[in-house]
Amino acid sequence: MSFNHTHTSLALFCKVVDNYGDIGICWRLARQWHHEHGIAVTLWVDDLASFRRLCPQVDAGAALQCVDGVTVRHWRGQDGVFAPQDIADIVIEFFAVDIPPGYIDAMARCAVAPVWLNLEGLTAEEWVEGCHTLPSRHPRLPLTKHFFFPGFTAKTGGLLREADLEQQRGQFAPAPFLARLGLAPAEQRALKVSLFCYPHAPVAALFKAWEEGAQAVACLVPEGVAADAVAAFLDGAPGVRTRGALTVRVLPFLPQPDYDRLLWACDLNCVRGEDSFVRAQWAGQPFIWHIYHQDEDLHHKKLRAFLQRYAGGLDSLADASLCWNGVPGVAPDWPALWAALLRAMPAIAARGAQWQREMQANGDLAGNVLKFAAALRLPGGKTQV
């Protein structure tokens, strides 16, 4: 039996670890489940202040609120006593967070156990296909949790993508949007680059290559990103400065819909983590990914796995991406790397369009989660364990 979505509830538990990436993904999913599928969604979040930067409607001091049709609860800790009627039909932990023990105990007391999923992080590594949807029995309660992996193949959960995203992008007019952000006509005519990276990215070296290059570049940076390199370039200027061929402009931190528009409006997007990484893929423009750092350089393996799928034959993109992430073996010659990347931009854009078609064939993450949850329900209303 499948879920009747108009009478289905879903609880999504999120702890903000990567500043904005974790809550960014969860907020997009929560809205999509509610608006496209009619599901009553409760989003549990531990850091409402970070959430508010992505969604200005959020009240950072509220314990309980409704934002854009989604119930938002401030996740203050692991204490709490819950009853079966408090439990959602679908319970999702984002990226292996530990939901409150009292909530789990109440899940076990439900007449029909909820579907319990651990929504994992995105990776292109091959092992994901073998782990996607694997069950894990609770050691003491009659509950089973399933691991659900987003990914890049039909044997994974796919990528997050709203149904009307392509239509919105097709109707977008960049010039008024860029003017609203304060860009002068010369900046709009330049090659526009959005910059969203972690602090250890070699931004100063890239700025120097842009400054001394022949191509005019307008670099648009959300406030607080690459703070040291941006401050050094601005040298006291109030938020924007041109030096050589490079103009750097600091933007206010943008809500999610405007960040999507920024990606659409730029010719190259430097993105980080998972949320902006996926949005760059749907933006249809060339991008460079700054992957989240992991111990023992495990992130380098993940980066190579993605580049192997995405950047075959695009050596300039692969080299720039590896160097941007500090992977040994590529000389950090940013003038040469940038020149090669610039020449390859048409080919990279063509690959991006092809990639979008391939990813669309896998369905979308929110819809695939619901299909899997419905498939777990057996005749008679019992959840498969």
274 tagged catalytic: yes
Q: Which of 46, 120, 274, 319 is catalytic?
A: 274
The neighbour count for residue 63, using CB atoms within 10 Å, is 11
59 tagged catalytic: no
Residues 203 and 229 sit within 8 Å (Cβ to Cβ): yes
Residues 55 and 81 sit within 8 Å (Cβ to Cβ): no
Residue count (the chain): 385
Residue 93 makes CB contacts below 8 A (sequence gap 6+) with 13, 99, 116, 117, 118, 119, 145
The sheet that has 246-251: what strands, in order across it?
240-243, 246-251, 217-222, 191-195, 268-272, 287-290
Just list the catalytic residues: 22, 274
